[in-house]
Amino acid sequence: MSDPTDHDQPAQPQRRRALRIGAAGAVAVVSIRPAMAQAYGSVLTCEIPVPDPGQAGSYIDPSGKVVPAGTRGAYAPPGRPLKGEDIRRALASGGNLPGVDYERSRAYLKYVQNLRSGTTGFTCFASLQMPRR
Amino acid sequence: MMDATRYRAPQASDLSMVDLDELVAIFHRASGITHLVASPVPELLIALSGRWLTLDGIEQEFELVDGNRAGLASIMDELVAAGLIERRA
């Protein structure tokens, strides 16, 4: 063959095969973009602020309710939003959130479980509930 | 008319092809996009796998049936737009 950069040419030229071109203007390719793959990625990377930004600084009591800062028996909020993957793992295994002791983890996780549709972090929490293979 | 435009498809290892009766599903690992195609697209992707060919080169390998050079060029344009084929002038 004419192109000297081709390495994979068969030594003997083969008989030409038929290539059916078909109707002009027909669509040859339908592409399916990976929307689901992106949604899957967001499950691993989404975060839930505790409590929601409108109540930043408030404490979380052992039942997961948001209470005024300094309330006796309640816990100061985590210093940063909780990661979806950490929450998923703690809920699935019954273990603690990373770097958080047992009682405090229970309170934060109850807060997350109490989230309702429309509240900050609910979409992330809902995505954690999707069955995973 | 001499046309030096060359085309190349990804290496076979960069594509996963699954036959679905008349159609072929092609998963392109680099983009994460799945493409549904029909003949002659799979044949072209295999022929161009990892090597540059001009339209003349393609016609040396294949006899165009039920269509002509213009039809082949429009299929190649569509494959370029889909990201399944590279084009180099």
The residue ranges of DSSP E strands in A51-130, in sequence order, are: 59-60, 66-67, 82-83
What are the backbone dihedrals phi and psi of residue A57, each rounded to the nearest 5 degrees, phi first?
95, -20
Under DSSP, the state recorded for A33 is -
User: Tell me, what's the pLDDT at A44?
Assistant: 60
**For residues B37 and B76, is the Cβ–Cβ distance under 8 A?**
no
A40's enclosing H/E stretch is: helix A35-45
For residue B62, give the 3-state DSSP assignment.
strand
In a domain, A9, yes or no: no
Chain B hits for A29, Cβ within 8 Å? 35-37, 41, 78-79, 82, 84
Chain B hits for A8, Cβ within 8 Å? 50-51
User: Tell me, what's the pLDDT at A22?
Assistant: 83
The model's pTM: 0.52
What are the backbone dihedrals phi and psi of residue A47, each rounded to the nearest 5 degrees, phi first?
-135, 155
In this complex, which of B50, B60, B65 lies closest to A20 when CB atoms are compared? B65
Beta bridge partners of A17: B62
What is the domain range of residue A57? 37-129
CA A49 to CA A18: how far, in whole Å?
A: 61
In a domain, A110, yes or no: yes
**To 5 degrees, how large is the angle CA A67–CA A75–CA A97?**
125
- Would you kindly state where each structural domain of chain B is located, as residue ranges? 13-88
CA A13 to CA A85: how far, in whole Å?
A: 56
Amino acid at A52: D
pLDDT tens across the length of chain B (89 residues)? 567 899 999 999 999 999 998 899 999 888 778 899 999 999 999 999 999 999 999 999 999 999 999 999 999 999 998 899 999 98
Which residue of B11, B29, B36 is the best one to mutate when testing the A interface, meaning the one whose CB has the most A CBs within 10 A? B36
Per the structure, how many domains does chain A have? 1
Closest CA to B9 of B28, B22, B24, B23: B28
pLDDT tens track for A62-84: 999 999 999 999 999 999 999 88
Alpha helices (H) along chain B = 41-47, 55-61, 69-82
In a domain, A1, yes or no: no
Chain B hits for A18, Cβ within 8 Å? 62-63, 65
Residues of chain A falling short of pLDDT 70: 1-14, 25, 33-44, 118, 129-133
CA A116 to CA B2: how far, in whole Å?
A: 66
CA A91 to CA B1: how far, in whole Å?
A: 68
User: Tell me, what's the pLDDT at B79?
Assistant: 93
Which residue of B37, B55, B56 is the best one to mutate when testing the A interface, meaning the one whose CB has the most A CBs within 10 A? B37
Closest residue of chain B to A29, computed from CA coordinates: B37
